[in-house]
Amino acid sequence: MAGNVYGLDLGTYEIKVFDKKKGTIWQEKDAIAMKNKRYVFAVGNAAYEMYEKSPEDIRVVFPMKDGVIAHFDDMQYLLGNLLGNERRSARGAEYLVAVPTDVTEVEKKAFYDLVYHSEARAKSVRIVERGLADAVGSGIDVIGEKGVFVANFGGDTTELSVLASGGMVLNRLLKIGGEDFDLAIAGLVRRNQDFMIGRQTAERLRREFGVFEQSTDSSITVSGRDLITGVPSQTEVSIGLVRAAMKELLEECVRSIISMIDRTPPIVRSAIREKGICLTGGVANLKGLATYLKESTGLPVITMENPELCAVKGLQKILSDREYYRRLTYSMLDEGFRWLR
């Protein structure tokens, strides 16, 4: 491959980039701060720092939603800006982009167009299913394995993938992620205690309490707004309330996992029952999640090392391995995708 090569994992709240020339992986928040709905005030980490803290004339927006590009122009501007410091090496470079499997071909094409028609003027853009990239980045021999189940718990979605012999057997994208857990927590605090907290405070509660610890009498003091008096205040939020808020969403994830296992071909299912579920994504680090899934599904569950980086590490390995690159990636300009040009 001539010139520089990039691997892109575009998440709802974070972009992860592998730079082959430098051999490095870097992360940046997938956010833009807009002033007066027109002017870009900040991008990336600087924009996210303003989330829920900025004055009324500055609004923080996220160009990705439910695993796909929701605001194409904003996303293209953001990516161009983040690659701005690398503009010389980014121009004419080759790109490998991880995309969700369970989305329409038009939505996949948007990922291709985002890079190919950007200021970077990409030489080529190839696609890999995120489930495959996750598995490769977890150290799994996806070509040789007879059955692999990958559950990617992300900030906005949960992607469930059944893989075998280098291909995707089944895949489902659930519109449940860290944001939904946080909104559920904030909503239950509001209804039960007449107290309003922000999403970042709800996220802190989720991370502190987790989902399966035995302790049930813990509580955390949080800041917010008392809805009865209307003034800023503090209140105690119990671990029981936080877990009650997440219960229904977690149960839906478990039902989807069991349903996929039941629909998996017998040989593949047998391999999965032996090896279990590989847990990846930023929410995979949630305390007790692996234990909860193990108890609920009856399958072994292994949280991968640095689960939030599995997909981008998979891109790194695919770009360094000719067999993986040939077998696992494709171009939207290949024969089967010409109608999308």
Q: In the chain, what are the domain boundaries? A: 5-133+310-340, 139-176+246-308, 178-245
What is the helix (H) or strand (E) element at residue 171, kind and residue range?
strand 167-174
pLDDT reported for residue 341? 37
Per-residue confidence at 121, pLDDT binned at 50, 70, 90?
low
Q: What does the alpha-carbon distance between residue 101 and residue 243 come to, in Å, rounded to a whole number?
A: 30
pLDDT in the model for residue 57: 87
295 pLDDT tier (thresholds 50, 70, 90): very high
d(CA 188, CA 202): 10
CB of 70 closer than 8 Å to CB of 108: no
pLDDT in tens, 28-70: 999 999 988 778 889 999 999 998 888 888 999 999 998 899 9
Give the mean pLDDT of 250-257: 97
Residue with tokens 């996949």: 108
Q: In the predicted model, what is the mean pLDDT of the chain? A: 90
Same fold, 5-133+310-340 and 139-176+246-308: yes
Provide the 8-state DSSP code for 165: T
Q: Are strands 148-153 and 158-164 parallel, antiparallel or unpaired?
A: antiparallel
Q: What is the pLDDT of residue 97?
A: 95
- Determine the pLDDT at residue 101: 86
Confidence of residue 327 (pLDDT cuts 50, 70, 90): very high
Could you tell me the two tokens for 278? 């590989």
* Architecture per CATH, 5-133+310-340: 2-Layer Sandwich (3.30)
**CB atoms closer than 10 angstroms to residue 34:** 18
Kindly indicate the confidence band of residue 117, based on its pLDDT and cuts at 50, 70 and 90.
confident
For 186-234, write each residue's pLDDT tens digit: 999 999 999 999 999 999 999 999 987 666 678 999 999 999 999 999 9
Beta bridge partners of 173: 159
Distances (CA, A) of 233 to 73, 84, 221, 225, 236: 40, 42, 10, 5, 11
pLDDT at 338: 46
- 21's CB contacts (< 8 A; 6+ apart) are 4, 5, 89
Q: Which of 80-89, 97-106, 204-213, 284-293 tops mean pLDDT?
A: 284-293
CB within 8 A of 295, min separation 6: which ones? Answer: 212
> May I ask the CATH architecture of the domain 139-176+246-308?
2-Layer Sandwich (3.30)
Q: Does position 89 have pLDDT exceeding 60, yes or no?
A: no
Region 104-125: what's the mean pLDDT?
83
Q: Which residues pair with 162 in a beta bridge?
A: 149, 170
Return the H-helix or E-strand segment holding 95: strand 94-99
CATH H-level, domain 178-245: superfamily: ATPase, substrate binding domain, subdomain 4 (3.90.640.10)
The stretch 239-258 carries a mean pLDDT of: 96
